[in-house]
Structure formats: structure tokens, C-alpha cells
Amino acid sequence: MLTPMALEWEQIIVDSSDPIALGRWWAEALGWVVVDESEEIIEIRPEPDRIPGLLFVPVPEGKTSKNRLHPDFRPDDQEAEVARLLSLGARRADTAREEQHWATLLDPNTPDCQF
């Protein structure tokens, strides 16, 4: 029998055409802090010593397909939170259905798309 290895979830990697701008946007949207930043990458976390975090990196050269990242959040006040994120530059995705109880938003770095 194999002994399980101890694993700790450190971060999610997000490819972006503008990782610094997108990372700063998500830091503000989530109320997180920047823990590492260079000319090409930015890492944000809920608190400096708390993981997991998000690491935004440049899209690899020559990459033609896109990765999908679909985080779900549960706000205390959905209407107020949607309004706040829209004021920060998010956009509504063209997927709304009358019966759904969630809002689908695109961050400022995501091109318009159909889901």
C-alpha cells in the first residue's frame, strides 16, 4: 500500500495577455494582496501568508488554444457585488436566462464570448 503524499494547494495559474493588469484587477475585486510582482507575472493571495493564491502569467508564445478558468463566488449580496464588479470593469456575459439565480461576468481581460 502506498503512503499518501502531503500536498498543499498553492495557487491557480492564469494565462493572460496582460497578466499585471488582470492580476491587479482580481486583487481589487477579491480584496486580496499582491505578494509577488515582476514585469511579467503577478501573484495575489487572500493574505500574505495564506494560500491558495492566483498567479497571472503571460500567454505562452505560440499558444493557439485557450485554457478556461471558471471561478464561482457566493457573495452575501449578489446585486451589490455585481454592481461593484461592473464598476471595476467587469462585463456581463451574454448568457443570462430568466430562471437562473447567478450572474455570469467577464473580467476586463476576457474577450466577449458565448458559453
Give pLDDT tens digits for 8-60.
788 998 888 899 999 999 999 999 999 999 999 999 999 999 999 999 999 87
Burial letters for 8-20: b for 16+ Cβ neighbours within 10 Å, e otherwise?
eeeeeebebeebb
Domain boundaries, the chain: 11-58+77-106
Give pLDDT tens digits for 3-13.
665 667 889 98
pTM summary value: 0.73
For the segment(s) 11-58+77-106, the CATH number from 3.90.1300.10, 3.90.420.10, 3.30.450.20, 3.10.180.10 is: 3.10.180.10
